[in-house]
Structure 1
Amino acid sequence: MEAEAERTGPFGKQSCGWCRFFKFWISGLSRISDFGFRIPAVPQPSAFRACLKNGWNGLPARFWGQPAAKRPGGLVARRNRPVACSTQKTVFRQALSRPALSHCSLVLWALLGINVIGALSPAAAAAPRQPNVLFIAVDDMNNDLGCYGHLMVKSPNIDRLARMGVKFDRAYCQFPLCSPSRSSLMTGLRPSQTRVFNLQYHFRTGLPDVVTLSQLFKNNGYFAARVGKIYHYGNPGQIGTSGLDDPPSWSQVINPAGRDKTVIETNILNYTPKRGLGSAMCYLPDAEGRDEDHTDGKVALETIKLLEAHRDKPFFIATGFYKPHTPYVAPKKYFDLYPLDSIKLPAIPADEQARAPKPALASNAPWPYFGVTEDQARECKRAYYATISFVDAQIGKVLEAMDRLQLWDNTIVVFWSDHGYHLGEHGLWMKQSLFEESARVPLIIVAPGTKARGKTSPRVVEFVDLYPTLADLAELTPPANLAGASLRPLLNNPIRRWNRPAFTQVQRGQFPGYSVRTERWRYIEWDDGAKGTQLYDHRTDPRELNNLAANPKYAKTVAEMKALIKRNWPVRVEGGRAPDARKPGA
C-alpha cells in the first residue's frame, strides 16, 4: 500500500509534473511577509491550453521531469496515439488511474485558488507594466489617405493603423507651420502661450521650466528617444543634425541622413529656383536608391533597433519622418504608382480672390501655386503622393517589427502630421493658411485597453489634446496648465457628446489670423476683423467657397464665433524673437 501511495500519491516520485511543481509552489507559501504571499511565477496559460487540447502528454516535457512517453501516474503512452483531454472522461479514465485523476484535479483547482490569492496580493497588484508609447510623426502630410476616403493615394499601413484604433476625422493643429505646431503639441500649450510663431524662436527661451510630453514620461522612468524630426528641423537643410531640438525631452536622439540629402540633392528639379528647396515646388524620382538608403528609410530602421533594444522596459519612442515635406524625393517605384495623366488639380473659381479677404490667400506669392504652370503643379502633386506612399511603406516596416516583437498589447501608438497641406485648393500650395486643408490633420490613436477599434470619431479635437490624452492613458500626472482635454472618452466611444471647438492661428507680418472650428462652422478673422472675416457652413460648403460672414442672416452665428475667438485670445500676444535668428527653413 505504501509503495502504491508513493507511486500515485500527490507528491510521490511518479507524480505528474504539475504535482511536483505544485509542491514547490506550496513550499514557497511559507515565505510570508507583512504584505502578503510571495508566490512563484504562474505557468503560462499556453501550458493549460496544451493540456486541454492534447491531453497531459501535450504539455512540454520540462513539466514532467521524465520521458515524454511517460504519462502521469507512471503509465506508459502508446506512440502516435493522442491522449484525450480531461473533459473526455471515458478515454481519460482509460489513460489514467483513478488516484492520478483525483490528485491532478486537486492540483488544478489548487493552482486556480492560489492564482486568485496571488491576484489579490499587493505584489500582484503592482505587476502590470506601464504602457509604452510609439509616437509617429510625419511632415506636411494632409488627409489624402486611403483611410480618410481618398480613392487614389495608396497608404495601406496607415490604413492598417486606422483599422486598429480610432481615426479622428476632425482633428486640427494650432498653427499650420512646423515649429509653432510641434512646439504647441509637445508642450500641450497654445502658440499664444509658447509664443512660437516662426521657425527660429525656441519655447524654452520664455518657458525654461516647461515639462514637455516626452519629458513627462522620461521623468517617470521611461526611456524617451527621438529618431528624426519631432521638433523643428530646416528640411532638408538641417537633416542629419538636431535642428531646433529640445535636449531635456530625450534620453537619446538619433539624426539619420540618407542619400536624398547627401548624394542626390543637387539633382532635384526646382520649378521655383528663387525659393529654397524646403519651400519650393521641386521633386526628384530616385531611380537608383533603395528605401533604406533614404533618410526616412533610415528613420524606420533606427526605430526598429530601439524597439528591439528596449522592448522589456517602458519606452516613449518618437519617430519623426521627413516626408512628404518638399523636396518631394523618393525611390522611383513610388512615382510609378501615380500616372501623371491621372493627377488632377481642383478648380479655382474665377472670382476666388474676391471671395476671401486678401490675407487669406497671402501664403502663396505669386498666386496661384507660387507662379508655376498647371502642368508643373500636377507633376508636384504626383510627387507629393509618391512621397506619402514612400513614408507609408517605412511605417509598415515599423508596424511589422511591432508584430514580431509582440508589443501591441502594451503599446499606445499615435500617428500624426504637424499640419495639413494645400494641393491647389483656393489656388494655394503647402501650408500657413486657415482654410480646412491647411488646419486639418490626420490623427490616429491605437490604445490597448480602450473599447473602440476601427472606428472614426467625427468630433472636433486639437493637437493640444494629445498631451493630456497620453498622460491619462499612462496614468501619469500632467502639468496643471495644459490647454487641452484627454481624448480617452472618445477612444471608448468615438461618437459620444463632445462640445469643444478647435482654435488655429497664423501670423501675417504684424497682425494675426484667428480661426475657430466647430462641427458645423469655421470662422476666421484677420487683425481682429479689421482686415476681413470669413464664415463657412460645413454642412453645405465643405470646400469653403461661400463666405457667409457679411450675410445678415448669419449675424448671430458670427457673434457667437467672435465670442469664442475672444475667449481663446483675450489679448493679442506677440511672437517670441530668437536672439540668434537664422534664415527660416520649412
Structure 2
Amino acid sequence: MTLKKLSIYIFSLLILFVSCKTSKEKTEATLNQDKNQKPMNVLFIAIDDLRPELNIYGAKHVKSPNIDKLANESLVFNRAYCNVPVCGASRASLLTSILPTKTRFIDYRAKAQEDVPNAKTLSSIFKEAGYTSISNGKIFHYNKDVQEASWSENPWMPKGGHRVSYDPATNEVIMKSGNGRVYEAPEVEDSVYPDYKIAQKTIKDLRRFKKSGEPFFMACGFFRPHMPFYAPKKYWDLYDRDSIEIADNRHLPENAPKSLRGSGEFKSYSFGDYKPNTEAFHKMMRHGYYACVSYVDQLVGEVLSELETLGLAENTIVVIWGDHGWHLGEHEFWGKHNTLHNALQVPLIVKVPGKSAGKQTEALVESVDIYPTLCDLANLKVPDYIMGKSFTSVIGNPKESFRENAYARFKKADAIVTDNYTYSLFENGEEMLYNRKLDPAENKNVVADVKYKKVLQDMRNALRVKQQQAASYK
C-alpha cells in the first residue's frame, strides 16, 4: 500500500470513529431525555350518540362552546368513521382495535371478553405500562367487561343509568319497554342527572392524580345526547323551537333496497302529545337532541377547565369521540343501526399538546385507529394482531392522506366509505352506492347506474379486502 493510500485509509477510519461516537452520544442523549420526560397522560372522553352536529363541524345552530374551544386547541377530524353503528359493539371494537364480523361485535350487547377473549384492551396496555387506568361512566357498554385486566380500579357508574327522570309527567305513560316519555325539560340544576355526577367523579380523580403525580389513562363516558332527551330546562331554552330546521329529505333514498331499515329504538319511548312523522315531532326531537348536546358540552367544559386549572393540560392528550353517528329525521330515521353515512360518521377531536392546534384534516380514519395512535403517542408497544393504524403522522401533518377507505358493519350489511362514495352490501345480495360528492344527503342509490360500473367494482373489491382483514383475527 502506498503512503498516499495509507493516509486516505487512516483518514477514513478517523471519520468513521468520530461519526460513530457522535451517533452514540446522540442516542444516549435521546434515551436520557426519554427517561427524564414525564409520561403523557390520556383523557379519553366518549359521548354516546354524538354525531358531528357541533359548531366546529359547521352546525352553527348548535351551542357547543366548550367542545369548540377544545377543537381550537386540537386537530379536528372531518372524516372519522365508526366500525359498528351501535354503542356496545363500537366501543368493544375501538377498545380492542379489532374489526367486526358476522359473529363478532354484532350489537349493543357485544362484550370484548366474549367476542375476543384473548385481546388486550387499550386501557390494559396503559395499565401494564404503569399508568393508573380509570373508567368513569359509560366506556364499555357493560362496565364490567374485561374489568380486571383493563382498569386499575373498578369501573365507576352513577346510580340509575341514563333514564333517570325528574319531571313527574315523564312517567305518566310507561311503555312495554319500561321507558317513559322521550323528552323532559324540568327546571332543575345540572346536578340532578347522572352525567353531572360522571363529570364530578372525573374532576375528583384529576385532583387526586395531580396530588399523587402518577401518570393516568382516564376514560370518561357521558350518556347524553343518547335518548331519552332529558336535560335541565335552561339547555332547552338555548334554542327557539320555531327556528329549528328539520331534515328536507324525510323519505327513503330513491332505489333504496328493501333491507335498508332505520333504528326502532326511539319507538320504545312515549312521544307524549306528539305524533311521529309530523313536523312538530321532528322539531321536538331535534330540540331535545340539541339541548342534550349543550348540556354535555357544559360538563365537558367543566372537566377540561379543571384539567387546565390543575396544570395537567400541558402533559395530557385529550380525545373527544362519538361512538357512532345518528339520524336526526333524515329518511324518517331516528338513531343509528344502518350503514348510511349519517350512522357511520363520528366526531373526533384530538389534542396533543404542541401539535396541530386549531387545524382540521380530511384524512379518512376509523375508530380502531385510535388505539394504536394513543399508544404510539405514549411510546407504548401494541399487539401485532390489532387492525387499526396509528395516525400520528396526520397529527404532525394534517394535510397528509391516511386511509383509502373506512370499513363498517351492522348485522347483515357491510360498508365501505371513500372520499366520494359510500357502498353497502347486504347478506341477501342487495347493494347501495351513493355518490356523496354529488349527493351528500344520500338521496339516490346509483348502484344500478351503468356510469358507476367501475366504481362499483372497485368498492366491491375494497370491501372484500376489509372483510378478509376482519376475519384474520382468530
Scaled to the shorter chain, the TM-score interval is 0.7 to 0.9
Distance in structure 2 (CA, Å) of the matches to 1:209 and 1:318: 22
Partner of 2:242: 341
Partner of 2:432: 534
Partner of 1:423: 328
Give deviations 1:87-145, integer Å, cap 9, x for gaps. xxxxxxxxxxxxxxxxxxxxxxxxxxxxxx9x959766521111000000100011110
Give 1:208 shift: 2.3
Distance in structure 1 (CA, Å) of the matches to 2:433 and 2:457: 11
Distance in structure 2 (CA, Å) of the matches to 1:314 and 1:551: 55
Q: Which runs of 5+ in 1 are unaligned?
A: 1-116, 234-241, 574-586
Give deviations 1:176-213, integer Å, cap 9, x for gaps. 10111000000010112981202334221243221100
Partner of 1:306: 205
Partner of 2:458: 560
Partner of 1:330: 231
* Aligned partner (choices 38, 41, 49) of residue 140 of structure 1: 49
Aligned residues: 437
The 3 A distance-change label for structure 1 pair 568 and 427 is: same
Distance in structure 2 (CA, Å) of the matches to 1:187 and 1:349: 37
Distance in structure 2 (CA, Å) of the matches to 1:347 and 1:295: 34
Are 1:294 and 2:294 an aligned pair?
A: no
Are 1:189 and 2:85 an aligned pair?
A: no
Distance in structure 1 (CA, Å) of the matches to 2:392 and 2:157: 32
> Which aligned pairs between 1:218-257 and structure 2 lie closer than 5 A?
218-233=127-142, 242=143, 244=145, 246-252=147-153, 253-257=155-159
Distance in structure 1 (CA, Å) of the matches to 2:40 and 2:31: 20
The 3 A distance-change label for structure 1 pair 306 and 354 is: same
Task: Tell me if structure 2 keeps the 8 A contact 1:186–1:213.
Answer: yes
Task: Tell me if structure 2 keeps the 8 A contact 1:258–1:293.
Answer: no
Give deviations 1:46-93, integer Å, cap 9, x for gaps. xxxxxxxxxxxxxxxxxxxxxxxxxxxxxxxxxxxxxxxxxxxxxxxx
Distance in structure 1 (CA, Å) of the matches to 2:169 and 2:161: 11
Distance in structure 2 (CA, Å) of the matches to 1:201 and 1:191: 10
Partner of 2:341: 436
Give 1:293 shift: 2.5
Task: Tell me if structure 1 keeps the 8 A contact 2:405–2:416.
Answer: yes
Partner of 1:398: 303
Distance in structure 2 (CA, Å) of the matches to 1:361 and 1:263: 30
Task: Tell me if structure 1 keeps the 8 A contact 2:253–2:444.
Answer: no
Distance in structure 1 (CA, Å) of the matches to 2:194 and 2:458: 47
Aligned alpha-carbon RMSD (Å): 2.8
* Aligned partner (choices 328, 337, 358) of residue 258 of structure 2: 358
Task: Tell me if structure 1 keeps the 8 A contact 2:277–2:332.
Answer: no
Give 1:445 shift: 0.3
Distance in structure 2 (CA, Å) of the matches to 1:494 and 1:571: 26
Partner of 1:453: 357
Give deviations 1:249-292, integer Å, cap 9, x for gaps. 11122212379755627642699935553xx871111212x112
Give deviations 1:543-564, integer Å, cap 9, x for gaps. 1112111011110110000001
* Matched position secondary structure for 1:333: helix
* Matched position secondary structure for 1:355: coil
Give 1:409 shift: 1.4
Are 1:411 and 2:320 an aligned pair?
A: no
Distance in structure 1 (CA, Å) of the matches to 2:295 and 2:262: 31
* Aligned partner (choices 176, 183, 188) of residue 283 of structure 1: 183
The 3 A distance-change label for structure 1 pair 434 and 266 is: farther
The 3 A distance-change label for structure 1 pair 566 and 120 is: closer
Distance in structure 2 (CA, Å) of the matches to 1:294 and 1:365: 21
Question: Which structure ranks higher in relative contact order (CA pairs < 8 Å, sequence separation ≥ 6)?
Answer: 2
Are 1:164 and 2:63 an aligned pair?
A: no
* Matched position secondary structure for 2:185: strand
Partner of 2:87: 178
Are 1:482 and 2:386 an aligned pair?
A: yes
Structure 1 residue runs of 4 or more that deviate by more than 6 Å after TM superposition: 269-272
Partner of 2:374: 470
Give 1:347 shift: 2.2
* Matched position secondary structure for 1:361: coil
Are 1:550 and 2:448 an aligned pair?
A: yes
Distance in structure 1 (CA, Å) of the matches to 2:368 and 2:288: 31
Partner of 2:416: 516
Distance in structure 1 (CA, Å) of the matches to 2:197 and 2:37: 33
The 3 A distance-change label for structure 1 pair 349 and 421 is: closer
The 3 A distance-change label for structure 1 pair 282 and 244 is: farther
* Matched position secondary structure for 2:416: strand
Partner of 2:59: 150
Letter in 1 for 2:42: V
Partner of 1:114: none
The 3 A distance-change label for structure 1 pair 389 and 572 is: closer
Letter in 2 for 1:356: A
Q: Name which one, 1 or 2, has greater alpha-carbon Rg.
A: 1
Q: Which runs of 5+ in 2 are unaligned?
A: 1-25
Distance in structure 2 (CA, Å) of the matches to 1:139 and 1:473: 25
Give deviations 1:213-248, integer Å, cap 9, x for gaps. 001000000000011000115xxxxxxxx4656332
Distance in structure 2 (CA, Å) of the matches to 1:571 and 1:486: 17
Distance in structure 2 (CA, Å) of the matches to 1:423 and 1:210: 35
Give 1:327 shift: 0.9
Task: Tell me if structure 1 keeps the 8 A contact 2:167–2:185.
Answer: no
Distance in structure 2 (CA, Å) of the matches to 1:328 and 1:270: 16
Task: Tell me if structure 2 keeps the 8 A contact 1:281–1:326.
Answer: no
TM (norm. structure 1) is 0.70
Partner of 2:218: 317
Task: Tell me if structure 1 keeps the 8 A contact 2:318–2:352.
Answer: yes
Give 1:161 shift: 1.3
Give deviations 1:342-384, integer Å, cap 9, x for gaps. 123212366x3653112223434999x9971421232121011
Task: Tell me if structure 2 keeps the 8 A contact 1:304–1:398.
Answer: yes
Are 1:493 and 2:397 an aligned pair?
A: yes
The 3 A distance-change label for structure 1 pair 373 and 386 is: same
The 3 A distance-change label for structure 1 pair 262 and 464 is: closer
Distance in structure 1 (CA, Å) of the matches to 2:44 and 2:293: 18
Are 1:208 and 2:117 an aligned pair?
A: yes
Distance in structure 2 (CA, Å) of the matches to 1:121 and 1:494: 26
> Which aligned pairs between 1:42-121 and structure 2 lie closer than 5 A?
120=29
* Matched position secondary structure for 1:198: coil
* Matched position secondary structure for 1:221: coil
Give 1:151 shift: 1.6
* Matched position secondary structure for 1:569: helix
Are 1:384 and 2:285 an aligned pair?
A: no
